[in-house]
């Protein structure tokens, strides 16, 4: 059975204006389509801190559908560095009366999209309606910087490993295969003026973002290193063909300040679960192939 959506009686701009005790109720009727003028997104969390209900606006904010989030921890929505802060706020709501909830506009919380992009969380935490245990997050939608798919999050390795682990867990639950491509532009940049490296790398990022499938995930894991997770792909032969196409895309000359620059990046890859099952092993295998000098079916150089 499909998980219930959220229906609401609130009006646009109602966040911050009491009362809220009865604005959210569950329904198993027709799927809820939020009005275009409604700026809030509802996420209902039960006493076990699991997501019970949410409306379809979560997909815009976080990249997950309501069905994917049903039963998941609220931590799936929040960047690691903000999880303790939000946990403290939830405890604060439990320990003392807050009939109007707790304002999040100055809490400094960061949400995390499915693709790794971080964004400030704005809105309010409310106690669950009718005195039941749990919470309701009423979140304001904010414009995403990567709405045009030209944005690529820059992630430190621990955060990238965390993101990759989440994505692998999803593939494991669905029994789907995937592959991680590691793209190294470093040796292609060594003969380039340092002042021009960043715009050249950004051009490569844009090419990959506009060429990738929506279910794939691109992240920047270094100054000149990129990682691309290919979803729902099986076998080294297929992955190698994709890697060669990406190599061809990135070797197309880039015009900058009247000069044509041509990259010759290295692309290595690793297949899940065929070659590695942990995010650390998958990344290590992809990086190893990326730096191998030998030519072959498993390396694009």
Model pLDDT for residues 117-159, shown as the tens digit of each residue: 667 888 899 988 766 788 999 988 655 444 445 567 688 888 8
Positions of E strands within 46-85: 51-54
- State the burial class of residue 131 (Cβ atoms within 10 Å of its Cβ: 0-12, 13-18, 19+): exposed
Write out pLDDT tens, residues 5-40.
333 333 333 333 333 222 332 322 333 333 333 468
- 61 band by pLDDT with thresholds 50, 70 and 90: confident
Same domain for 136 and 218, yes or no, is no
Same domain for 111 and 185, yes or no, is no
In a domain, residue 248? The reply is yes
Number of domains in the chain: 2
In a domain, residue 150? The reply is no
> What's the domain range around 113?
5-140
Write out pLDDT tens, residues 155-174.
888 889 988 999 999 899 88
Q: Region 46-61: what's the mean pLDDT? A: 87
- State the burial class of residue 48 (Cβ atoms within 10 Å of its Cβ: 0-12, 13-18, 19+): exposed
Tokens of 138: 């009423």
Nearest to 75 by CA among 48, 37, 95, 108: 48
What CA dihedral angle connects 146, 150, 155 and 157, to 10 degrees? 130
Instruction: Please give the model's pTM, rounded to 2 decimal places.
Output: 0.53
Judge whether residue 300 has pLDDT over 50.
Answer: no
User: What per-residue confidence (pLDDT) applies to 145?
Assistant: 45
Domain containing 215 — which CATH number?
A: 3.30.70.270
Same domain for 196 and 265, yes or no, is yes
- 278 band by pLDDT with thresholds 50, 70 and 90: very high
Ramachandran assignment for 279, one of left (phi > 0), alpha (psi -120 to 50 degrees), beta (any other): alpha
């Amino acid at each position: 059975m499909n998980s219930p959506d959220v229906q609401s009686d609130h009006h646009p701009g109602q966040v911050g204006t009491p009362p809220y005790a009865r604005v959210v109720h569950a329904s198993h009727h027709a799927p809820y389509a939020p009005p275009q003028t409604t700026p809030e997104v509802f996420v209902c969390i039960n006493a076990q801190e699991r997501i019970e209900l949410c409306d379809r606006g979560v997909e815009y904010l976080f990249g997950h559908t309501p069905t994917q989030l049903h039963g998941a921890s609220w931590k799936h929505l929040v960047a690691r560095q903000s999880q303790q802060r939000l946990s403290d706020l939830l405890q604060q709501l439990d320990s003392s009366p807050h009939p109007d909830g707790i304002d999040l506009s100055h809490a400094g919380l960061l949400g995390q999209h499915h693709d790794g992009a971080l964004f400030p969380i704005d809105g309010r935490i409310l106690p669950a309606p009718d005195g039941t245990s749990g919470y309701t997050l009423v979140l304001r939608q904010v414009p995403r910087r990567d709405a045009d798919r030209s944005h690529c999050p820059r992630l430190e390795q621990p955060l990238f490993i965390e993101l990759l682990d989440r994505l692998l867990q999803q593939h494991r639950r669905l029994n789907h295969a995937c592959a991680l491509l590691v793209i190294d532009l470093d040796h292609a940049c060594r003969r380039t003026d340092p002042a021009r490296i960043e715009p050249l790398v950004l051009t490569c990022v844009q090419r990959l973002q506009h060429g990738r499938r929506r279910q794939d995930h691109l992240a920047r894991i270094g100054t000149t290193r990129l990682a691309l997770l290919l979803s729902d792909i099986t076998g080294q032969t297929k992955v190698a063909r994709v890697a060669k196409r990406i190599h061809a895309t990135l070797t197309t000359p880039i015009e900058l300040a009247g000069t044509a620059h041509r990259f010759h990046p290295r692309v290595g890859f690793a297949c899940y679960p065929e070659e590695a099952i942990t995010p650390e092993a998958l990344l290590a295998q992809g990086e190893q192939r990326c730096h191998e000098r030998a030519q072959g079916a498993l390396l694009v150089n």
